Each structure stands twice: as C-alpha cells, then as structure tokens.
Chains A and B, each alone.
Chain A
Amino acid sequence: AQSVTQLGSHVSVSEGALVLLRCNYSSSVPPYLFWYVQYPNQGLQLLLKYTSAATLVKGINGFEAEFKKSETSFHLTKPSAHMSDAAEYFCAVTFSGAGSYQLTFGKGTKLSVIP
C-alpha cells in the first residue's frame, strides 16, 4: 500500500534561511508526488507535482522538490524563507496502477518563520 511520511510535524526557520521539509514515500509502483500548502482557515493549494518527467520540480512561490527514487524521497526546499511562507505543508502520493484515483497525504509539517 502506498504511504507518505513527513519527518517533523513542526519546523522553525529564520527569515532568509533555507527551508527543508522532508517527505518519504512508500509505493510498489511508480509514484506521482505532490506538495500542497494550507494557510490558516483555507483549503489546500498545489505547490508542485512530480509526474515522472524531470526529477527536479519547480513550483510556485520559489519552492522546488527533487524526486530521488533511490532514497524514496521528495523533499521540499526553498533557498530563502519569507514570513509569508508560514503555513502547513502536506506531501501526498498516488500511483500509476489501475484503480489509483485518490491522494494519500502525509500528516503535515507546520512551518514557522522567525523574523
């Protein structure tokens, strides 16, 4: 069965510092991977997605993620944190097998940005 593990339920970084949010997946078939962001009292907004094309995926708001099959990882990074990045981030996976329709989400990582 597919699953996603996000390491760290809460991450704090200083403004201007590197943001690194970790995501590891488990899937017996090629995965499709997504990062979503949720601001307080709002829905989920797609940051970026990996769909078996380039392994380095660039998303919105300066975020990017690299798919590493050997490490079964899809970590999210941003070179310089901004106060507006404070939110909760979710990694999600689906896969390419038949009957694969829904996303399976990780538990989320809440990012705090310290001025």
Chain B
Amino acid sequence: DSGVTQTPKHLITATGQRVTLRCSPRSGDLSVYWYQQSLDQGLQFLIQYYNGEERAKGNILERFSAQQFPDLHSELNLSSLELGDSALYFCASSPRRQGRVYGYTFGSGTRLTVV
C-alpha cells in the first residue's frame, strides 16, 4: 500500500456522461498530481495542485477539471465523456510543491471505460 488512495478502482460509463475520480494523498503530502495512462499516449501529466491551489497544468482537456479540498483530497471531474477518454487515471502525491527531491508516490489508479 503506497498510502495514496484512489477510488473507485474501476468505472464503466456511457459516452456523454460525467464522472468524478477521487484521490487521497499520502499523509502529510501537500501536492497532488493527476496523470492519464493510455496505450497510445502513454503517461500524460494532467494537472497539479499544491495545498489547495492549482500549480501546473499539462495536457488536460477543457472537459476535464480538478480541485483540491481543504483536507487535501483531490477530485478529477471528467465530463462529456468520449470513447477516447477510456484510460487509467493515476494520482500521485509528494510532500512539497516540487516533488523532484522528495519523490512522487502513486496510487493504484482508476480504470475508466467509456462505452
């Protein structure tokens, strides 16, 4: 157990729907990162939050949004879902704003299937 908790583990939904993925970072970690893993694109950085504030944005679609709450858990909202959004979504956390020194700890992911 890495200490980073992601729920749900699996999600199957129809095109056009909206889903919310949840991440609880490791105890004491202030930064949360979201990644998308697909066969064709590999691991793509989506967005980072640090202590409740957005810090960095990557290849995140406008249909996707995220937030980090005062208790430091984070949610990734995916709307108007398309077949191509099917992927593994990972959350990672690190103690500080910049994870490079302290490391990034990954959760086990949420597998999203859009049908």
Contacts and interface: CB of A to CB of B under 8 A. Distances in A.
Interface of A: 32, 34, 36, 42-46, 49, 51, 90, 92, 94-96, 99-108
Contacts of A107: 42
B103 interface: yes
Taking residues whose C-beta sits less than 8 angstroms from the other chain, chain B's interface range is 20 to 34
Nearest to B58: A102
28 contacts: A32-B100, A34-B103, A36-B106, A42-B108, A43-B2, A43-B4, A43-B107, A44-B90, A44-B92, A44-B106, A45-B2, A46-B104, A49-B103, A51-B100, A90-B43, A94-B99, A96-B100, A101-B31, A101-B48, A101-B50, A101-B97, A101-B98, A102-B48, A102-B56, A103-B99, A104-B45, A105-B43, A108-B42
Contacts of B50: 101
Contacts of A32: 100-101
Contacts of B101: 32, 51
Contacts of B90: 43-44
B18 interface: no
Interface of B: 2, 4, 31, 33, 35, 42-43, 45, 48, 50, 55-56, 58, 90, 92, 97-101, 103-109
A94 B104 CA distance: 11
Contacts of A103: 33, 45, 99, 104
A29 B50 CA distance: 23
Contacts of B43: 90, 92, 105, 108
Which has the most chain A C-beta neighbours within 10 Å: B31, B33, B106, B108? Answer: B106
Given A95-B100, A100-B100, A102-B45, 14 more contacts: A43-B2, A43-B4, A43-B90, A43-B107, A43-B108, A46-B104, A46-B105, A96-B100, A101-B33, A101-B55, A102-B48, A104-B45, A107-B42, A108-B43
